[in-house]
Amino acid sequence: MNKLEVKINATKESSYPIFIGENLLENAYDYIEQYTKANNYLVVTNETVYSIYGEKLKSNNSKFIILPDGEIYKNMDTLNRILDRALEVKLERKDAIIALGGGVIGDIAGFAASIYQRGIDYVQIPTTLLAQVDSSVGGKVAVNHFLGKNLIGSFYQPKLVLSDINTLKTLDIRQFKTGLSEVLKYSFIEKSCKCEKHFNFLEFLQSNRTEIYNKNPEVLKKLINICCKLKSSIVNKDEKEKGLRAILNFGHTYAHAIEKLTGYDKYTHGEAVSMGMKLIFDLSLEINCIQEEYYHTATNLLKDYELMINLKDEFNHEEFYESMLSDKKVSDKKINFVIPIAPKEVTIKNNIDKKTILQGI
């Protein structure tokens, strides 16, 4: 089992642990009780995850809310249902919410915890690869609005993250690849994460593809550990996305427009992100920000992992641009693009003209 600490603004007081290992769900409350003072818990999960893992989280002190499964339910109505249930089971201020599921559950349960009685503790138990490498770490919690993704939310850190890699065994290949999109993202931004340790993550991914697809536990633990270290290095320096943290949105500006214009149900978040990353590599090559050699290394990695990279939809250019403008990465009506500039290195540019942005659409 690996344990690492996320320090917020480099302070020990607001740090929390991430545990990465096997069979952690079996003893989940042993970990949780060390980091919360709760007498009672509300476990927020969905039908799919509950049917596989719900039993493991049952205890005398836990109540459940089992939500329907899907990104379309990450909205204010579902948030209200969670708050209603918290009131119904009389959750008190020192009690805690446990998010058991993928990124959808983590985001909405964390947001509910951030506003229930002005904020109560919550615990992330991520059960998808995407949630274990990204969404459960760093405290971004939110719901979607019809005008855009994650537009209503807060920054609210969990008390601990419990990543049991055994849960990845039941994840289907499509969802596993969705997580791999975010994994590859870290390899493209590693140098810009300003982590004191160097992982050579891109090379690690190039040489461990088969082990990763075979879900080799040691390789998966190492991979999740590296992603969490890179992410916590960023969150440590810039919790509220005043600058550095924006690099985690690599590929996401295009991705959010793709998700929005396809109704959030045609593609998974990771599929949209891999298409978004390919578009951003194309854009960067077009504006001479990267050399061809790195362009081929990066896009070959996306291809080797068989991620979705080709846009199949015909988008109306004006609608696509409008969608990018309604994203929260926009400031002063300018779209901030995280652009690759060298191997494993990115920067933020907001002066790319509309025609060039839309060239690959």
Q: Is 269 part of the annotated catalytic residue set? A: yes
Q: Is 182 a catalytic residue?
A: yes
Integer Cα distance of 217 and 225 in angstroms: 12
Residue at 290: amino acid letter: I
CA separation for the pair 216, 210 (Å, rounded): 9
Q: Residue 190: CB partners within 8 Å, gap ≥ 6?
A: 198, 199, 200, 201, 202, 230, 344
> What mask, x for binding ligand GLY by CB under 6 A, covers residues 99 to 138?
-----------------------------------x---x
Interface with ligand NAD includes 150 (CB under 6 A)?
A: yes
- Residue 271 sits in the site that holds ligand GLY (CB under 6 A): no
Q: Dig out the tokens for 205 from the structure.
A: 């991914």
Smallest distance, Å, CB 6 to ligand NAD?
12
What is the footprint of ligand NAD within residues 235-274 (CB under 6 A)?
268-269
What's 215's DSSP letter?
Answer: T
CA distance 37 to 210: 42
Residue with tokens 């991979």: 223
- String marking each residue 208-247 x if it binds ligand GLY according to CB under 6 A: -------------------------------------x--
Question: Can residue 327 be called a binding residue for ligand GLY (CB under 6 A)?
Answer: no
Distance of CA 290 to the CA centre of its chain: 26
Q: Is 120 in the site for ligand NAD (CB under 6 A)?
A: no
**118 dihedral zone (left: phi>0; alpha: psi -120 to 50; beta):** left
Q: Is 49 in the site for ligand NAD (CB under 6 A)?
A: yes
Contact footprint for ligand NAD (CB under 6 A) = 46, 48-49, 52, 69, 71, 74, 101-105, 107, 127-128, 130-131, 134-135, 138, 140, 149-150, 167, 170-171, 175, 178, 268-269
Q: Looking at the annotation, which residues are catalytic?
A: 118, 140, 182, 231, 241, 245, 249, 252, 256, 269
